[in-house]
Structure 1
Amino acid sequence: MITVRPSGQRGYADHGWLRAKHSFSFADYYDPAEMGWGALRVINEDRVAPGTGFGRHGHRDMEIVTYILSGALEHQDSLGNGGVIRRGEVQRMTAGKGILHSEFNPSADEEVHLLQIWIEPAVHGTPASYEQQALPVDAMRGRWRLVASPDGADGSATIGQDARLSATVLSPGEALGYALAAGRLGYVHVVRGHLALNGIALAAGDGAKIGEETELHFAADDEAEILLFDLPPTH
């Protein structure tokens, strides 16, 4: 079963300095039918204006992955971590028992375009932590590149959940498969481009909830960038 979540049905917020599209319920956007998919709770597509950002605020018990599409984002947190993340890198923050952080666009003239992803952890109350990993775009071309996983395999960011986030960039006409283990859930988010998933047309910003499927087939119409979540079953 594959259920499409069309881009145009996402929640939308325009705060001037921030324009955000919400795949699932978030902040002032609430849809009881869109509260997440399995352990996946949030996919926000954010565009942050130059010289602005998210002031210092707190989180608890969430695995937060930031995937940069363009521009740069400067991070500071209560653990003493700080740095700038750009396209070709991924950031993971385990909120655990609590963390304060800020995220700021340091550019004077370029917006930062990003996806912020929240995955519910398997265990609450763990120590908060942070990491930043390389994620070269060329390493995604024509193959799955692991972005986040429970064991940090292949240089991926380590998250406290039995979930795996992978990314690929497919050329026009290129195809790629993925095998989901029986009972696992999947979720696809199309970053850019047009493609077919098991014959179902998807475009940039679309999502697809996947259940009771074990073989996935992706075929790109034009250059397409895809995120694929391999999620534990719900009980």
Structure 2
Amino acid sequence: MSGLDQRIVLAPEDGSLGPLLRIADDRLGPHSGYGRHGHRAVDVVAVVLAGSLRHRWGVGAELTAGDVAVLRAGAGLEHDEVAGDDGARVLQCYLRSAAPAAEPEHQVHRAAAGWLDLGRADARLWLARVAPGESVPVPAGLLVVRGVDGVLVEQQPGRRVQGPGAVLVWQLDTAVPEWARGW
């Protein structure tokens, strides 16, 4: 594979998932990137599933499978992300910014597992990697499982999830935001 193969797995346009705007399952070929682009008033949570990714903004960051990067675009920034020699597989989760006028910042959480502190009251993220033949109990919320056969997305009350796969659970304040009222 060369270039970028992006598959949108969730994109509610009615604000029904509170701050969660979109989840994309991205595959990048070796040394492929998104191209320099801008973000404003959005937080991007990038979960690296496989391969490696170099984030090009500020001092930059090298990410490998299991790492989670949180980019808070705030008032705006331009950046790029480029896959390493082995390409990359990334779940890109976009949230409406909790602080749209703030200065941009970037945090990397290495080998993230369990609850990840996103520093915001309206969204929580839980992560696990499940080996083949194993299962893991997951908390209630919006379940996103990247398995062998694709991506499963479902609202659920908490259950066990069979591996193999990367598992995310979003707990979201789903009160309809002001901008979405009247849809």
| Bin for the TM-score computed over the shorter chain | 0.7 to 0.9
Q: Indicate how the Cα distance of structure 1 residues 94 and 17 shifts in structure 2: closer, same or farther if over 3 A, else same.
A: same
SS at match of 2:75: coil
List, as ranges, runs of 4+ consecutive aligned residues in structure 1 with deviation greater than 4 Å.
none
Q: Do structure 1's residue 146 and structure 2's residue 115 form an aligned pair? A: yes
Is residue 166 of structure 2 the alignment partner of residue 225 of structure 1?
A: yes
Deviation at 1:177, TM superposition (A): 4.6
The residue number in structure 1 matching 2:64 is 86
**SS of alignment partner, residue 125 of structure 1:** coil
Aligned-residue Cα RMSD (Å) equals 2.5
Greater Rg over alpha carbons, structure: 1
Give 2:5's aligned residue. Answer: 19
Q: Is it true that 1:98 corresponds to 2:84 in the alignment?
A: no
Aligned pairs (5 A) from 1:162-173: 162-170=122-130, 172=133
- Assess, with a 3 A threshold, how the Cα gap between structure 1 residues 224 and 81 changes in structure 2: closer, same or farther: same
Identity %: 22
Compared with structure 1, are the counterparts of its residues 40 and 133 closer, same or farther at alpha carbon in structure 2 (3 Å cutoff)? Answer: same
Retained in 1: the 8 A contact 2:138–2:169?
no
Residue 124 (str. 1) matches residue 100 (str. 2): yes
From the superposition, tell whether residues 97 and 218 of structure 1 become closer, same or farther in structure 2 (CA, over 3 Å): same
Relative to the length of structure 2, the TM-score reads 0.82
Give the AA of the match of 1:45: D
Q: Larger strand proportion, structure 1 or 2?
A: 2
The CA distance in 2 between the partners of 1:41 and 1:18, in whole Å, is 21
Residue 192 of structure 1: aligned partner: 147
Q: CA deviation at 1:92?
A: 1.0
Give the length in aligned residue pairs. Answer: 175
Residue in structure 1 matched with residue 111 of structure 2 by the alignment:
135
Answering whether residue 137 of structure 2 is matched by residue 176 of structure 1, we say yes
The unaligned stretches of length 5 or more in structure 1 are: 1-13, 26-30, 151-159, 181-185, 194-202
* Residues 1:49 and 2:29 are matched in the alignment: yes
What TM-score, normalized to structure 1? 0.66
SS at match of 2:62: strand
Distance in 2, Cα, partners of 1:56 & 1:224? 30
In structure 1, the residue matched to 2:181 is none
| Contact 1:148–1:166 (CA under 8 A) maintained in structure 2 | no
C-alpha distance in 2, partners of 1:104/1:32? Answer: 28
**2:13–2:21 contact (8 Å) kept in structure 1:** no
Q: 1:126 to 1:161 in 2, by over 3 A?
A: farther
Change (3 A) 1:121 1:161: farther
| Inter-partner Cα distance in structure 1 for 2:67 and 2:165 | 19
Cα displacement (A) at 1:32? 5.6
Q: Which among 151, 154, 160 is matched to residue 205 of structure 1?
A: 151
Deviation for aligned residue 1:174: 3.2
Does the residue aligned with 1:102 lie in a helix, a strand or coil? strand
Matched residue, 1:198? none
Higher relative contact order (Cα pairs below 8 Å, separated by 6+ residues)? 2
